[in-house]
Amino acid sequence: MRSLRGRLLLWLLGLLTVVAMLAGVAAYVIDRGEVDQSLDVQLRQIALNIGDTRRPVSGDGGGVSLDPEDALVVTISDVAGQRRTSDASVSIPLQTETGFTNVTASGEAWRSYTLVEPNRTVQVSQRREVRDEFAASSAERVVLPILGVLPLLWVMVGWIVARALKPLGRLTTQLRGWGEDRTDSLEIHDVPEEVLPLAVAMNDLIVRLDGQIEFRRQFISDAAHELRTPLTALRLQVNNLRKTSEYAGGKAAIDEMERGLRRTSDMISQVLDLARAESKAEGEKLGAVPLEDAIAASVEDVMHLANDKGIDVSLDSATDATVAGHRADIRTVLKNLLDNAIRYTPNGGSVDLAVRRSAESVTVEICDTGPGIPDALLDRVFERFFRAAGNGVEGSGLGLPIVSVIAARCGATVTLHNRRDRSGLVARVAFREAAITDH
């Protein structure tokens, strides 16, 4: 069993059960001794006071009232050797000396007291069984209450163990809420002494990890920035080459080169966007952004691309809505989705936007007339650097990852679906409607 709690419960409850059993056994043993003693005294009293020898013992037991419960047999033998007994059905051998003996007669165990007097011998015997019963019932009296309390104890032990383990639970909750964006140290002021070293070690680890994450972000950012310098030089050199090239096929080659350089530049910008999106502090207070403005701004960003391809961009059903987030973030999310839609839509196609409002959210829908995405790949396109094969479109493979990181920060969700009516993709962003604030 790997659970501390389970182990503690098992051991504590096992222990309690064993204690209850031991108490029962002890009560039995001790009581058995006491019962023996007192009944022995009783036997002796009976023997001493059994009455006159001349009176017959049979019938009424010689003046002694014999309770069948006591299981007593009295035997009196006179000098002549004539025996009288209170119960003729059992014959217990008569002892010749005064004192206690254990005998077996008629298949039963007996305890006898024999009193040898000059004129007679009196022997009082009692079934040992009676004594066992006395002891057992006394042990029962001890064990039963303990057994009765046992379920209650289980519950209480369970509660106590749970309480004692609560700080561990809190640590776990804190650690669970801990991600790349939230790396606060664990609160250790109420952590039990036994777990403290673990928590402290964990905090050290968090600090180091935090440093690593920061290092990684910084490295990506620095590397991308550094790459921009030689890339700028290359682009300038290609530009200069264009001016001086006299070779007839040179222009096409230079065009190709420029395209490649532009693509590299775009990719570096996207890497930086992603690094920046990931490093922005979580828990920042979200603003309220008029969706109409954000849509207009994001459409502005992609209009040149749409115009180049003769793609018709339109907003079909507008709703006045204010959504939670930062203006720049919402613009980036919509811009990236629009950019994808336009990129993958063939020349002369259309990209339609629509805004729908529901009780929980305000959804912006971007619907294109491109080829769509095979259903099996719909989730994978959110992976970094993933690009569906053979679409012939140049992209960094970072657009959608950036969208999902930024959208998550606004509490928005992004989903992609293939169109049912024709080929094409529908991207839906469900924003949270901004709470109405007093001005």
- The distance of closest approach from Cβ of residue 234 to another protein in the complex, given in angstroms and rounded to an integer, is 8
- The distance of closest approach from Cβ of residue 299 to another protein in the complex, given in angstroms and rounded to an integer, is 6
Residue closer to another protein by CB (options 172, 317) is 317
- The distance of closest approach from Cβ of residue 308 to another protein in the complex, given in angstroms and rounded to an integer, is 8
Query: Which residues would be at the binding site for another protein (CB under 8 A)?
Result: 225-226, 228-237, 239-240, 243, 261, 265, 268-269, 272, 276, 292, 295-296, 299-300, 303-304, 307, 312-318, 328, 353
Report the 10 Å Cβ neighbour count for 236.
10
Helix, strand, coil % (nearest 5) of the chain?
55, 20, 30
Residue closer to another protein by CB (options 211, 310) is 310
- The distance of closest approach from Cβ of residue 156 to another protein in the complex, given in angstroms and rounded to an integer, is 60
CB 291 within 8 A of CB 431: yes
- The distance of closest approach from Cβ of residue 282 to another protein in the complex, given in angstroms and rounded to an integer, is 18
CB 356 within 8 A of CB 363: yes
d(CA 321, CA 429): 14
DSSP codes joined into one string, 234-280: HHHHHHHHHHH---TTHHHHHHHHHHHHHHHHHHHHHHHHHHHHHHS
Residue closer to another protein by CB (options 84, 309) is 309
Residue closer to another protein by CB (options 226, 394) is 226
Residue closer to another protein by CB (options 20, 398) is 398
- The distance of closest approach from Cβ of residue 337 to another protein in the complex, given in angstroms and rounded to an integer, is 16
- The distance of closest approach from Cβ of residue 409 to another protein in the complex, given in angstroms and rounded to an integer, is 16
Q: Which among 89, 98, 130 has a CA at the least distance from the CA of 116?
A: 98
d(CA 325, CA 328): 9
- The distance of closest approach from Cβ of residue 391 to another protein in the complex, given in angstroms and rounded to an integer, is 25
The length of the chain, given as a count of residues: 439
- The distance of closest approach from Cβ of residue 239 to another protein in the complex, given in angstroms and rounded to an integer, is 4
In DSSP terms, 105 is beta-bridged to 108
Residue partners of 29: CB distance under 8 A and separation at least 6: 135
Residue closer to another protein by CB (options 180, 312) is 312
Residue partners of 31: CB distance under 8 A and separation at least 6: 134, 135, 138, 139
Residue partners of 185: CB distance under 8 A and separation at least 6: 203, 206, 207
d(CA 409, CA 182): 12
- The distance of closest approach from Cβ of residue 436 to another protein in the complex, given in angstroms and rounded to an integer, is 21
d(CA 264, CA 18): 75
d(CA 272, CA 265): 11
Residue closer to another protein by CB (options 84, 242) is 242
Residue closer to another protein by CB (options 199, 362) is 362
d(CA 340, CA 323): 23
Tokens of 134: 């006395």
Residue closer to another protein by CB (options 7, 262) is 262
CA end-to-end span of the chain: 59
In DSSP terms, 116 is beta-bridged to 121
Q: Which among 237, 255, 212, 272 has a CA at the least distance from the CA of 396?
A: 272
- The distance of closest approach from Cβ of residue 367 to another protein in the complex, given in angstroms and rounded to an integer, is 13
Residue closer to another protein by CB (options 21, 236) is 236
Residue closer to another protein by CB (options 62, 399) is 399
